Chain A
Amino acid sequence: MAEPTPSLAPARPPTGPRVWNNPRARAIIYQVLVLGGVIGAAAYLIDNTLTNLAERSIRSGFSFIWHEAGFAISEALIDYQPNHSYVRAFIAGLLNTLKVGLLGIVLVTILGIIIGIARLSTNWLVARLASVYVETFRNVPLLLQLYLWYSLLTEMLPGGRDALSLFTAFYLNKSGLMYPVPVYDGIHPFMIVAFLIGCVGAYAWGRYATRRHEATGVPTPRFWPSVGFVLGLPLVVWLIGGAPTAIDVPQMERFRFVGGWHVSIEFIALLLGLVVYTGAFVAETVRAGILSVSRGQTEAALSLGLRRGLVLRLVLLPQALRVIMPPLTSQYLNLMKNSSLAVAIGYPDLVAVANTTLNQTGQAIEAIAVIMAVYLTISLAISGFMNWYNKRVALVER
């Protein structure tokens, strides 16, 4: 506007000390005080720690990790011997943690979805049983369940040659589960490559199907072609490679089993405990997610003439998944963190290895720092991935 800026009447001058009343200055003062307090406390603790370490003549630092560990690890995914270094022991422990955690996440997803859907079943008996399962297992501490599973398995299972057997190929006894695996063949790596290519192919097929649907209006099947890509391609490669069928089956010899692969009873108890416990929580998450999609959505979609399967895929699942994913992620994280209870039943996970190291070397700070750093990394990685996924889902929806 062309109007000139009117001159202001003189305002009363501000009263009191100006700096303290300035919100920005005040914010800075608060922050300096808090930061000072935190740094001061930290300095005090560090100083005490250094004094104490000096008194007990413990050398701090990570140089010890290159020393010989000197303890055995009952099961490891990499070659590990007591004369290997601590760092190798830590890696063996970490791999054990990842093994039980990742397998647990897969199993708990399946179990949780089944129980979650069962809780919503119109079948009264199914819904009842599912809710009894959920209430029982989520209201009892995991550690107690782990102890019980472990005691049950080690006390109730037969020992040695009396192992329970299934198809004379799987054997279960006090010491663990023996199971058959295919004998290594040169074609196996190529099958893995084929599987990965198949995944890419399935993804590409999905894109193509969408585009074709949009361009021509003809809905293009996705599910079976994708299955074909992911499973068919490795199968073809296997056939080309001469279809090797040799399988290494565990055999009962005079005193012990030979052949096949083996997982320990500690692993089984831990996996069972984690999956059964976390499954109850995942089931509740799934149930809440499905319930969160209002009935009106189904009715509206059906009245548009969509078939049941499409209603589920296009309308219900995208909405339910958006609700389910965040709590599901935190359940995955819980499972991962709870796998640290392995230390209680003697499965050599990262925490158990660190605990042994700590007792042997007295390097408490370092051992605990390793545990925390590793779990923090795993947690941040999983939640980072899930955030990325959630964002993607949210964007796709809009």
Chain B
Amino acid sequence: MINLAERRAASGPVIQMAGVNKWYGEFHVLKNINLEVRSGERVVVCGPSGSGKSTMIRCINRLEEHQKGRIVVDGIELIADLKQIDAVRREIGMVFQHFNLFPHMTVLENLTLAPMWVRNTPRKEAEDAAMAYLERVKIPEQAHKFPGQLSGGQQQRVAIARSLCMKPKIMLFDEPTSALDPEMIKEVLDVMIELAQGGMTMICVTHEMGFARTVADSMVFMDGGEIVEKAPPTEFFKNPKSERTKLFLSQILH
């Protein structure tokens, strides 16, 4: 029913979720999630709060453990195996709502930490790469400051650069702009758009519909722990199939 083949038909799925279920105690947070993301695909996930969006993407790098179903990332299945989990996490970068920079390290140390300790990159090399990414997010001059000295928008751009330093194949964004003051949202979205145009596989949980229209290949709408609808943005915004989607869009787009 959904035709994804119009773009990059040749590339295979890099993330596959099949029949994924998760409960918090009695509460069923994820109900039979089936989702495939192809290499280079940009997916925007939206839905009301508490619909399971964050939980779903946090399952993809095993910050949350799913209890039923299967998740395969880049050919590696997520099972109770530390090697596998480490391998998956090396492939996936994640950006959080509250940045989660390490406040006791400078920006540069934040960026070089994982390459040096996980990828065993020599310091010089790691720092050069880090500076290059800081240039890309347009704040190389902040390299020696501490996170607490930066604005929210700058911190979030550092967080993106920090993830990129691990050269991930996939980037997850968990509401990257919702903790930001309005005037800082654009600078973060610009970086994300540039990243998308560079061909990165991305899954973004966000309510920035302008961003979704610009970059998304497909829109996923979640409600009550289920994927209600998945469609290309044009179709999604013009004639949503489900009543729930219509209601949500009418609330969010005014």
Residue ranges of A at the interface with B (Cβ–Cβ < 8 Å): 1, 3, 5-9, 11-12, 14-16, 18, 21-24, 26
Select which of B1, B16, B84 is within 8 A of A8 by beta carbon.
B16
| Contact B18–A22 (Cβ < 8 Å) | no
New contact pairs (13) apart from A5-B19, A22-B81, CB-CB < 8 Å = A1-B226, A6-B36, A8-B16, A9-B75, A11-B72, A11-B77, A14-B84, A15-B83, A21-B81, A21-B82, A22-B82, A23-B82, A24-B80
**Is B32's CB under 8 angstroms from A11's CB?**
no
Cβ contacts under 8 Å, A3 to chain B: 1, 34
B69-100 contacts to A, CB under 8 A, are 70, 72, 75-77, 79-85
Q: B12 on the interface (CB 8 Å rule)? A: yes
- CB nearest neighbor in A for B227: A1
B13 within 8 A of A: yes
| Contact of A12 with B34 at beta-carbon distance under 8 Å, contacts A1-B227, A23-B82 already known | no
Known: A1-B32, A1-B227, A3-B34. A8 touches B82 (CB 8 A): no
**Which B residues lie within 8 Å of A6 (CB)?**
16, 18, 34, 36
Q: List 14 A-B contacts (CB under 8 A).
A: A1-B32, A1-B34, A6-B36, A7-B18, A9-B12, A9-B16, A11-B75, A11-B76, A12-B76, A14-B84, A22-B81, A22-B82, A23-B80, A24-B80
Q: Taking the nearest CB of chain B, how far is it from the CB of A14, in angstroms? A: 5
A26 CA to B226 CA, complexed, in Å: 33
Inter-chain contacts of B13 with A (CB < 8 A): 9
- B79: chain A residues within 8 A (beta carbon): 14
Point out the residues of chain A lying under 8 angstroms from B76, CB to CB. Answer: 11-12
Whether B70 contacts A8 by the Cβ 8 Å rule is yes
CA distance in complex: A12, B91 (Å): 15
Q: Which residues of A contact B226 (CB under 8 A)?
A: 1
Question: Can you list, as one digit per residue, whether each of B223-240 has a CB less than 8 Å from chain A (1) or not (0)?
Answer: 000110000000000000
**Residue numbers in B under 8 Å from A5 (CB-CB):** 18-19, 34
- In the complex, the 7 A-B pairs of residues with the closest C-beta atoms, listed nearest first: A11-B77, A21-B81, A21-B83, A21-B82, A11-B72, A12-B75, A5-B19
A294→B77 CA distance, assembly (Å): 53
In the assembled complex, the CB of A18 is this many whole angstroms from the nearest CB of chain B, namely: 7
Quote the shortest CB–CB distance from A8 to chain B (angstroms).
5
CA distance A18 to B76 in the complex (A): 14
Chain A residues positioned under 8 Å from B12 (CB to CB): 9
The CA-CA distance from A347 to B81 in the complex, in Å, is 62
Question: CB within 8 A of A14: which of B1, B72, B83?
Answer: B83
Alpha-carbon distance between A5 and B1 when the two chains are bound, in angstroms: 13
CB of A22 within 8 A of CB of B19, answer: no
**A16 vs B81: C-alpha distance in the bound complex, in angstroms?**
10
Closest to B83 in A: A21
A23→B83 CA distance, assembly (Å): 10
- Do the beta carbons of A9 and B82 come within 8 Å of each other? no
Which residues of the partner chain A approach B16 to less than 8 Å between Cβ atoms?
Answer: 6, 8-9
Within the complex, the shortest CB–CB distance from B214 to chain A, in Å, comes to: 28
Query: Complex formed: what's the CA distance from A26 to B85 in Å?
Result: 14
**A7 to chain B: which residues have CB within 8 Å?**
18
Assess A18 versus B75: contact at CB under 8 Å? Given A1-B32, A5-B18, A5-B34: no
Contacts of A11 in B (CB 8 A): 72, 75-77
Task: Decide if B19 touches A9 in the complex (CB within 8 Å).
Answer: no
A12–B84 alpha-carbon span in the complex (Å): 10
Q: Which residues of A contact B70 (CB under 8 A)?
A: 8
Distance of A210 from chain B, by nearest CB (Å) = 36
Q: What separation, in Å, do the CA atoms of A18 and B34 have in the docked complex?
A: 27
* A22 and B75 contact, CB distance less than 8 A: no
User: Once bound together, how far apart are the Cα atoms of A9 and B36, in whole Å?
Assistant: 11
- Which residues in A have their C-beta under 8 angstroms from that of B80? 22-24
By a CB distance below 8 angstroms, the chain A residues around B18 are: 5-8
How near does chain A come to B213, taking the closest CB pair, in angstroms?
Answer: 25
Docked complex Cα distance between A7 and B77 (Å): 14
Q: Are B72 and A26 in contact (CB under 8 A)?
A: no
* CB-CB nearest in chain A for B78: A11
Interfacial chain B residues near A9, Cβ < 8 Å: 12-13, 16, 72, 75
Contacts of B77 in A (CB 8 A): 11-12, 14
